[in-house]
Structure 1
Amino acid sequence: MTPRKPTLHDVAAGAGVSIAAASFALRGKTGVSDDTRDRVLAVARELGYRVNVPARSLRTARSAAVGLLLPVGTTHLPYYTDFAFGVVDAADRHGLSVILLPHRDDAAGGAPSAFVDGYIVIDASVEDVGVRALLDSGRPVVSGEHVFGAAGRASASVAIDHTGALARLLDHLHERGAQNIAAILPPDGTAWSRELAETYARWTSDRGRRHISRHISFVPTTDEVSAAVSDVLDIPGVDALVVAPSGSAPATLAAAARAGRRVGDDLLVAACVDEPAHALLSPTVTSIDLEARALGSACLDLLVEVWDAGELADPVRVAEARLIVRGSTAGRRPAV
Structure 2
Amino acid sequence: MFIIIQVIITSGLPMARKERSSRRGRLNLIPWLLGFLLCFSPSIGAVSLEKNKLTILASVFSLFEFCQAVVGEHGQVELLLPAGVSPHDWQPRFSELVKLQKADVLAYIGESLEPWVKELVSSLKTNNLNLLSFEDLCFLQETEKPTELDPHIWLDFRLDGQIIERLVQFFSKLEPNLSAEFAANAASYVAKLQELDSLFQTGLGKCPQRTLIIDGHGAFSYLAKRYGLKQISLQGLNPEAELRPAQLRKVLELIKQEKIKAIFFEAGSNPRLARRLSGELQLKVLPLHPGHNLSLADRQLRKGFLDLMKENLKNIREGLGCE
**Which band: TM-score by shorter chain?**
0.3 to 0.5
Taking structure 1 as the reference length, the TM-score comes to 0.38
Q: Which has the larger radius of gyration?
A: 1
Higher helix content, 1 or 2: 2
